[in-house]
């Protein structure tokens, strides 16, 4: 199934992987407790004004879909000019994950008073997910 040359099955699989990976990354047995502590939330729980599941999960789903679709568009566009293999796709995802996703937020975090630990925990997951998503998308293209 394609849309303007994009293999939507690859995009869907990359999305599912990224969403699931984020759930594991920020799970109670992985980085969630460390992340909350680094953010200064000793209880580990969001306040009732912050904990709005529809907004939290809806926003996360939308964000991951947009990220995954963007990686697919770039890989598809590059694939019109050169052959893009799995490692190339991973490289595109890595470049977007580290070069754009991670470092676009660094100054915001620093000026916002958050620690580098918070920044690394939050953005390393994006970089890993986009790298693997790029490989998945390139495989299906």
**What angle, 0 to 180 degrees and rounded to 10, lies between the N-to-C axes of helices 53-79 and 8-25?**
140
In this predicted structure, the answer to whether residue 48 has a pLDDT above a threshold of 70 is no
Structural domain spans, the chain: 2-140
Question: What pLDDT sits at residue 136?
Answer: 97
Give mean pLDDT, residues 34-60. 75
Are 128 and 90 spatial neighbours (Cβ–Cβ below 8 Å)? no
Question: What is the per-residue pLDDT across 89-106, written as a single tens digit (0 to 9) for each?
Answer: 999 999 999 999 999 999
Taking the C-alpha atoms of residue 65 and residue 88, their distance in angstroms, rounded to an integer, is 21
pTM of the complete model: 0.87
The residue whose two tokens read 């998945």 is 136
Question: What pLDDT sits at residue 76?
Answer: 93
- Our CA dihedral for 85, 77, 10, 54, rounded to 10 degrees, sits at 140
Question: What is the per-residue pLDDT across 17-27, written as a single tens digit (0 to 9) for each?
Answer: 999 999 999 98
């Amino acid at each position: 199934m394609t849309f303007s040359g994009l293999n939507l099955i690859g995009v869907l699989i990359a999305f599912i992987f990224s969403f699931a990976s984020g759930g594991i990354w920020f799970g109670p047995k992985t980085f969630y407790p460390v992340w909350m502590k680094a953010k200064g939330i000793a209880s580990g729980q969001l306040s009732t004004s912050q904990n709005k599941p529809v907004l939290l999960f809806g926003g996360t789903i939308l964000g991951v879909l947009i990220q995954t679709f963007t990686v697919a568009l770039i890989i598809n566009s590059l694939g019109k000019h050169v052959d893009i293999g799995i490692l190339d796709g991973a490289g595109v995802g890595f470049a977007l994950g580290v070069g754009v996703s991670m470092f676009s937020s660094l100054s915001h975090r620093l000026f916002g008073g958050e620690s580098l630990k918070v920044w690394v925990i939050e953005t390393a997951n994006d970089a890993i997910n986009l790298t693997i998503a790029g490989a998945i998308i390139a495989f299906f293209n």
